Structure 1
Amino acid sequence: MNEIFAQAKSILVVGVDDVDPENLLPFREIIQTKAQQAHITFENVQMLIESRRATSSFDIILFDLISKTDEPTSIDLLNEFFRLLHPNGYLITHIEHTKQTQAIDHFKMCGFSSYNPLDSNSSFLIENKNDDVKRRGSLWLCQKPSFDVGYSVPLRRAGVKLIKQISTTGGGKKTWTVEDDRDDLIHDNNQKKSEVKNNCFRFKDEVKLLV
């Protein structure tokens, strides 16, 4: 964890409406001691999507770690976090134990390549949480893959090419696109048939000449 913060150049702290403004400066100071080279930005979750920050802007996003309770994450919000993170960037949030299975499904759907609970060495991130909230949940670290938005990977198969496209365009929704290669195969088959047919004609002409 210390290495992650030490290498960070830009950190976004996303809070909810019930954040106590008096906690902002102490929290910044805690993060700054761990990430001395990083520029730290604070943003309210309600304004985050409307602000339309540039894609791949942050190395680390800290969500809802300043407030006393836990705010659940939505698919749209996770999509926005994914878009804002640099390749290999990290999202850190606190999740209630009973909601972790659903949260993992959401992390997968949004494209995060890894998602793991953090140990007690990261407890400095949730000093503002209620003790009861701390007991009922845990910190999670999610990582974005090493590629950026718009990356696609072709999966070659006979007749069909499946492309997994990581994209947050179109209202923040991930898209899986399937491209059908059968047109190319039909074109190739027709071309081969034409070549065979032409060869047959040439063979017949040669036979006639020999006769």
Structure 2
Amino acid sequence: MFGINPGQHVLVVWSNPVNTEELQTFVEDLKSAVGSSGRVNVENADMLLTSKHRASLFDHVLAGVLPPFTYLCPVDTLGEALRILKPNGRLTTRTIDPSTAQTNLKLAGFTSVSEPKNANLTDEQKRDLTVPVVEVTCNKPGFEVGSAVKLSFAKASVDKSSNGTMSVDKTPADKSLSSNGTWNIDLDDDLELENPDDLLTEEDRTRPDPSTLKVCGTTGQRKACKNCVCGLKEELESEDQQRAEENRREFKSSCGSCYLGDAFRCASCPYLGMPAFKPGEKVKLIDSTLQDTT
């Protein structure tokens, strides 16, 4: 099934309209494919940008793979899918407009975008189709978004004519390079430079809250290490719980499908983990629903 292997973390991105029973059956089949060591998440396409999944979390993203195959992922949604995929992770989509789908995938930063191939649909899925449906796959590059590599433009070499002493190779275009390979910039004395203070906003001048500057002595980041004893772990958990409480108070369903069950709920939904309920029914939230399980 879509090349899903045991132990993988898979995200299913669905959009309205969708058959509730078909989506739930599809998710159960995926859970069987990844096994107990894997995981399957389900997100509404309209909520993906606000779900705040951490980067490089998923091995495979399945977008619009269920009928009616009319949803075309916009570039910003695909860009978010790229961010949360692991390096070399895969995205699979099914569509009736392969040209637009391929263009959006490339603009979002995906590589190895495949040529459209016939989607392996069931007889039930083919029943109401009037146009062919194709499947397109692609990959995230094998490096993380934002990675940097140092480039060396001036390489030292041995000058055979000077008894093995070192010299710097220069091309005619490198006349601005000094003898040690660094750039020389000649500024006109009459050049008027911008005052650096004028570039600062009031927000830039505001002193940060010292509590937000606390980092872990092991990781060097505002992220607790495995054996945290400095209190940062508890502090971060408290912040997450406060954020979840604020989200619960301000929560408004964008898709209007939260009552149908977990298969239709986004990662930030306060009803996550609760059984389905009738539309309009008053639902009481328990403390455990405010805990981030991701």
Quickly name the TM-score band, shorter chain normalised.
Answer: 0.5 to 0.7
Query: 1:135 & 1:155 partners in 2: Cα distance?
Result: 50
Q: How many angstroms does 1:42 deviate by?
A: 0.8
Specify every segment of 5 or more residues in structure 2 that has no aligned partner in the other structure, as ranges: 155-173, 186-294
Query: 2:123 & 2:92 partners in 1: Cα distance?
Result: 14
Instruction: State how 1:28-177 maps to structure 2 within 5 Å.
Output: 28-36=27-35, 37-96=37-96, 99-117=97-115, 123=120, 129-131=125-127, 133=129, 135-152=131-148
Query: 2:101 & 2:115 partners in 1: Cα distance?
Result: 12
The match for 2:202 is none
Query: 1:35 & 1:127 partners in 2: Cα distance?
Result: 25
Q: Which structure carries more strand by proportion? A: 1
Query: 2:42 & 2:74 partners in 1: Cα distance?
Result: 20
The match for 2:5 is 6
Q: Which structure carries more helix by proportion? A: 1
Q: How many angstroms does 1:138 deviate by?
A: 0.5
The match for 1:185 is 177
- Cα RMSD for the two superposed structures: 3.3
Q: How many angstroms does 1:67 deviate by?
A: 3.4
Q: How many angstroms does 1:128 deviate by?
A: 6.6
Q: How many angstroms does 1:45 deviate by?
A: 0.9
Percent identity for Structure 1 against Structure 2: 28
Q: How many angstroms does 1:31 deviate by?
A: 2.0
Q: How many angstroms does 1:27 deviate by?
A: 0.4
Query: 1:81 & 1:23 partners in 2: Cα distance?
Result: 23
Please list every run of at least 4 consecutive aligned residues from structure 1 whose deviation after the TM superposition is greater than 3 angstroms: 117-120, 126-135, 152-158, 184-191
Q: How many angstroms does 1:43 deviate by?
A: 0.8
Alpha carbons of 1:185 and 1:83: their partners in 2 closer, same or farther (altered >3 Å)? same
Larger RCO of the pair (alpha carbons < 8 Å, separation 6+): 1
Aligned residues: 163
Could you say what secondary structure the match of 1:52 adopts? Answer: coil
Query: 1:123 & 1:146 partners in 2: Cα distance?
Result: 28
Amino acid at match of 1:100: P
Question: TM-score, normalising length from structure 1?
Answer: 0.63
